[in-house]
Amino acid sequence: MAKPQTEGSDASPPKQERPAADLVIITGTSGSGKLTALKAFEDLGFYAVDNLPIALVTKFADLTTDSKSRRRAALIIDIREGEALKQFPAIYAELKRITRPMLLFLDAEDEILRRRYSETRRPHPLGVGSPVLRSIAEERERLAPIRALADVFVDTSKLNVHELRRMISEKFEGTQQTGKIRVYVNSFGFRYGVPEDSDLVFDVRFLPNPNYIPEFKNLTGKHPSVARYIRSFPQTMEFINRISDLLIYLLPHYIREGKSYLTISIGCTGGHHRSVLIAHELQKRLKKAGFTVKEGHRDVERK
């Protein structure tokens, strides 16, 4: 998460925002959607390369950021590099010296990865002699040092190829526009885990739970009766007012730091009632304040 600047009282956006990244490096577990992500970047005008030998990454960065041929680029580095992958942390440190890189790490739940391999009938890059789940575990272990360096993490477990491409497009399109930031306000249930791509997480389980009222149990925070019930408590509106004011204060500072998107996750127990209403209200407040905001509800359909 970008650290907001605190010096000075003027929080107005700067006249010009630096690009979020000149070079996006896509990595992650096999079967998590890296090639789909690369194609999405290509659609956005990035020069796209799959499986560039790791020894050539620094030279590639030099070529794409040269003043005469300057062009944003995206490439995949993954387990196919074998033992050479151990060199990546040092190479990434060097890239930070010569350009503005961004490391995007894709992953998915083990069972989802196993099912994708089963459906495509492709062998895992670590070989056909071992069960897929064992190969996935070994791959995770080898990728752990790289995952620790990731600037952006995306869990693709619940995304199909079209949804992943749309997510990449929405998050990275227009990163060179001035004074812009894309805000994603998502509700979720703590029962199913905190979204790993969250920048800010707010817990609204302190609010009265509509789930214990029989007529509300099978509804969601989108329903007018449920929304009216949650809003009826003074702490609800005070929370919305305070968090809205905080975010409206913080977002210009994130823009000044060069951040092009921010994911705000609002959590309650199951992700059906309180978090849905709060996420919707925050989305409206931020949009009214002039920010580009998208609203999502990860767990609202779960039973």
Name all domains of the chain by residue range, CATH numbers in brackets. Answer: 23-172 (3.40.50.300), 182-297 (no CATH)
Three-class secondary structure of residue 49 per DSSP = strand
Tens digit of pLDDT at every position of the chain (303 positions): 333 333 333 333 333 333 467 899 999 998 899 999 998 888 888 889 998 888 899 988 888 766 555 678 999 998 888 888 899 999 999 998 888 899 999 999 988 888 887 776 677 777 766 687 888 888 999 999 999 999 889 999 888 887 888 788 777 764 444 346 889 999 999 999 998 889 999 999 999 999 999 999 999 999 999 999 999 999 999 999 999 999 999 998 887 776 777 899 999 999 999 999 999 999 999 999 999 899 999 999 887
Distances (CA, A) of 74 to 2, 11, 39, 55, 64: 22, 32, 9, 16, 10
Three-class secondary structure of residue 69 per DSSP = coil
pLDDT at 99 (0 to 100): 87
pLDDT at 283 (0 to 100): 95
- What tokens were used for 72? 């944003």
Place of tokens 């997480």: 201
What's the rounded Cα separation, in Å, for the pair 181 and 291? Answer: 7
Q: What DSSP state is assigned to residue 17? A: P
pLDDT at 12 (0 to 100): 36
pLDDT at 2 (0 to 100): 39
Distance of alpha carbon 38 from the chain centroid = 15
- What tokens were used for 200? 């800010």
pLDDT at 173 (0 to 100): 67
Q: What DSSP state is assigned to residue 189? A: E
- What tokens were used for 212? 């214990």
pLDDT at 4 (0 to 100): 34
